[in-house]
């Protein structure tokens, strides 16, 4: 039985640096230090907000579980 001859086996068998996907190189920093500081401050605020939302969601789920367990007499 002959070996399958398709483009996929040839491509997988022979990859080198010329076949790899080209990467974009960053040559200069487009942000000023003030813009970078403003971005970091805004990101920090978003992170705290996300933490508060996730914590609130966990508390809601916990409260629902407590109510359900207490309602059906499985709590104590």
Structure tokens at 40: 């970091």
Q: What integer pLDDT is reported at residue 48 of this predicted model?
A: 97
Which helix (H) or strand (E) is 18 found in, with range? none
Structure tokens at 71: 């309602």
Is the Cβ–Cβ distance between 39 and 31 less than 8 Å?
yes
pLDDT digits (tens, 9 = 90+) for 30-70: 889 999 999 999 999 999 999 999 999 999 999 999 888 88
Q: What integer pLDDT is reported at residue 29 of this predicted model?
A: 82
Handedness of CA 13, 16, 22, 23 (dihedral sign): positive
Is the Cβ–Cβ distance between 49 and 55 less than 8 Å?
no
φ, ψ of residue 34 to 5 degrees: the values are -65, -40
**Overall pTM > 0.75:** no
pLDDT digits (tens, 9 = 90+) for 16-33: 556 667 777 877 888 899
């Amino acid at each position: 039985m002959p070996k399958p001859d398709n483009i996929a086996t040839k491509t997988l068998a022979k990859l080198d640096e010329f076949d790899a996907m080209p990467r974009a190189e960053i040559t200069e920093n487009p942000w000023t230090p003030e813009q970078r500081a403003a971005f970091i401050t805004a990101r920090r605020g978003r992170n705290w907000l996300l933490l508060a939302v996730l914590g609130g969601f966990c508390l809601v789920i916990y409260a629902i579980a407590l109510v359900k367990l207490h309602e059906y007499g499985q709590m104590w």
